[in-house]
Amino acid sequence: MTGSAAERFDQALATSPADLTGPELLPARLARACAAALGVDGAGLSLHVGLLRTPIGASDPQTAHAERLQFTVGDGPCLRAQDNGTVIAFSLEDIARNWPELWAALLDETTYRGVLSLPLPPPMGPLVVLDLYVRDAARLTSLDRDEVLDVARVTTQELAVTVSGPEFPEDGSSWLDGPDAQRRANVWQAMGLVGIAFGLDATDAIATMRASAIVAGRVVDDVAEDIVAGRLVPGDLQAAPHRDGDAG
């Protein structure tokens, strides 16, 4: 594709595959367009509201999995960018230094070796964050930051036109109906069940689920799905806290 980054974005968006039609898949179409426009290997969009982090679209399955790994660890480039409100690029060595568990997971389970994370500009930012993944960490330094900002700008514009009311994000938009968001919804339901089982607040309940997932070599989303489906009870979590009367 030729032209400016914004023009390449528009070209990619106009040629989205047929299986990504539907308003709930708009963020996935936008993520694919971001990756194509910037020549990176993967892109993902996530929504951050308080404790809750919800993936709303990814360019491909590997990128969706990379987000789940970052969410399982509970920290990483995306969360750091959202907290700081700035563009942040991390090579795999940076990730190893800051988040060794995430480094090991990305190394073992993905081909990605670097990520650039940035909050979208208003009106969707800073609640919506864009992650750009690369297989060659050198690509992080060669990315034109003006082009990255241009793509972030057109992405936030495309999302903004779907917002139908003042109570963003619960305003009638269908972002949370997409498959990645629906899968993450299991985590919030399971978090409540774990909290009730052990008398934990939301922060400690999700920490328990994360620790259990890491011990089991899984992602939190899979553990949550098992809890909601009844295949796993909170008391069997590998990092479950001891209750009064328990041995240990």
pLDDT of 198 higher than 50: yes
pLDDT of 231 higher than 80: yes
Give residue 166's pLDDT: 61
5-172, what's its fold? Answer: Beta-Lactamase (3.30.450)
pLDDT of 19 higher than 80: yes
Residue by residue, DSSP assigns 116-158 as EEEEPPTTTTTTEEEEEEESSTHHHHHS-HHHHHHHHHHHHHH
Residue-wise pLDDT tens digits, 106-136: 889 999 998 999 999 988 888 899 999 999 9
Least confident of 25-34, 38-47, 93-102: 93-102
User: First vs last Cα of the chain: how many Å apart?
Assistant: 62
pLDDT of 1 higher than 90: no
- pTM of the entire predicted model: 0.89
Domain map (residue ranges) of the chain: 5-172, 180-236
